[in-house]
Structure 1
Amino acid sequence: MARQSGVLQVQGTVGGIVFAKDGSVRQKQSSNKSQFNSSASMQRVRENANEFGTAAKAGKLLRDALRKVVSLASDRLMVSRLAQKMKLILNLDEDNDRGGRQILPENLPALVGFDFNAGSAFASTYYGGVVSALDRATGNHTISLGEMNPSRDVAAPQGATHYRVTGAVAAVNFETGTFVATDAATGESPLTNAVRPAEVLQLARPLGAPDDALVVAVGIDFYQSVNGKLYPLNSNAYNALSVVAVG
């Protein structure tokens, strides 16, 4: 490799020649885009790139569909974790060739149990009963919350005085990139020994396409009462949200 000599200080690219900070000089490499698109040796790389792109788009679509509840409970690596989960679901596609595999509704049950906040898993935060019922015919879905004792059945973080359960259902079409969604929540309840009666969250939405995938997420968020006013606790770090059903 050539090296620059003399007092002239040049850094950057001039006329296809790269002048590096350490004084070395080299020719700028030409783009390998053409090689990437056509070379037989890059076939597997192209296939992987296509599928990672598909998985990333699927993850973004689901995040957008559940945006209202995801915004309450997610960690900084959630986007990449969800993309990885979608790639695993993509790998379950046995109908299409590698490089063109898709997110198929019949493979989406693998999403159940995905926590949007890895630092606060829903299953280890909320021990009350949760049962979802999906009705494609009417579009009227429900999330039933069983009777529970908050002080016993909620693993609340220090400083929390109240909690709220949230739920959402999204009808997502991963082929067209469209969705419709709705959400609901309980009122803010105190974290006391007082038994909370069973409650049903009604999730009515406009009817989507018959082949849309239905994804149900349930979460819990925490509050602190100060002078009679409720404040979200610790920037949502302890809030939990999980996919509980797919239909």
Structure 2
Amino acid sequence: MKKKSPITRSRYFNDPVFERSRENNTEFTRAAKANRVLRHAFKPGMLNKADRYVSGRLTKTMFRILQTDPINERGERRVPQGVLNFLGGFNFNRDTNLQTILRAPYSITFNQEAMLATISIPSFIPRAMIDTESDANAFMLTAMAASLHFEKESYPVEPVQTDLLDMSLQQHEDLQLQLPVIGHQPDHSVVVALGIEFFQSALGQIKPLDKKHNALAVVKVF
């Protein structure tokens, strides 16, 4: 017979002995909420680019950000008050690192008046600046910019994609991805993500490759 726990709900929520546990659980709940807000915003671009463990890894990152909150006491710390730049470089696919696979230099700007984030990629040679273990002969870039408050619901995001690009070309011309930032508010952060997806293109047929070869990462937080 299963023994009844001596720790009652009332004791857990009122006994000073469990104060640290209550603080940790409260803050973990806030980190998990921030994780859901970001994943919900970027869901349209995560397809075929995110691993099955992304939620747990992202919650861990959000908890780390929450712990850097310099304003609130332990148990009251919040993600929006933490160092959100720790999100930079977060990869949604643990099997493929965007920073390793996409070596072409790029810059990111945010025009607050136009509510537009822009990723600019100078002309580059795919074979020299894209490192993939797949046998792809084509690729596509996807980018998104989300205006977020990590304790509220996110606004819709419009992913922007390039055309299917040839891996064998000697040089691709300059690329510019202009990303609308919807519903931005003064207390929001703008999070920009960039992804790459690989394909095999032959005889008029286009076949997407397994998602383990693709990447999506947070590349800037404004």
Q: TM-score range by the shorter chain?
A: over 0.9
SS in structure 1 at match of 2:200: strand
Give the corresponding residue for 2:221.
Answer: 246
Find the residue that maps to 2:114 and give its secondary structure.
Answer: coil
Task: State yes or no: 1:216 paired with 2:192.
Answer: yes
Unmatched runs of 5 consecutive residues or more in structure 2: none
Q: Secondary structure at the match of 2:102?
A: coil
Counterpart selection for 1:225 from 188, 201, 204: 201
What's the TM-score, normalizing by structure 1?
0.85
Structure 1 stretches lacking a partner, 5+ long: 1-17, 19-25
2:141 is paired with a residue whose SS is strand
Distance 1:69 1:55 in 2: 22
Q: Which amino acid in the other structure matches residue 224 of structure 1?
A: Q
- Paired residues, number: 222
> 1:160 and 1:56 mapped to 2: Cα distance?
36
Structure 1 residue 31, shift from structure 2 partner: 6.4
Paired residue for 1:51?
A: 27
Match of 2:135 among 159, 172, 178: 159
Whether the 8 Å contact between 2:116 and 2:180 is mirrored in structure 1 is yes
Residues in 2 aligned to 1:133 and 1:95: alpha-carbon distance in whole angstroms: 29
Contact 1:172–1:212 (Cα < 8 Å) also in 2: yes
Q: In the alignment, what sits opposite 1:168?
A: 144
Q: 1:105 to 1:149 in 2, by over 3 A?
A: farther
- Higher relative strand content: 1
Once the 2 structures are TM-superposed, how far is the Cα of residue 105 of structure 1 from its aligned partner?
5.6
- Given candidates 184, 196, 210, the residue that maps to 2:172 is 196
Deviations 1:157-203 (A, max 9, x none): 33211101111000001233333422201111111142000011111
Aligned partner of 1:102 in structure 2 is 78
From the CA coordinates, give the structure whose radius of gyration is larger: 1
Divergent runs of 4+, >4 A: none
Deviation of the 1:115 alpha carbon? 0.9
Q: State the distance in 2 between where 1:188 and 1:233 align.
A: 13
Q: Which amino acid aligns with 2:138?
A: H
Q: Deviations over 1:5-61 (max 9, x none)?
A: xxxxxxxxxxxxx3xxxxxxx654466211111111000000000011110110111
Query: Alpha-carbon deviation of 1:231?
Result: 1.3
Q: Is the 8 A contact 1:173 1:212 kept in 2?
A: yes
| Corresponding residue number in structure 2 for 1:60 | 36
* Higher relative contact order structure (alpha carbons within 8 Å, sequence separation ≥ 6): 2
Taking every aligned residue pair, what percent have the same amino acid on both sides?
Answer: 29
Moved more, 154-163 or 102-111: 102-111
- RMSD over aligned CA atoms reads 1.6
TM-score, with structure 2 as normaliser: 0.94
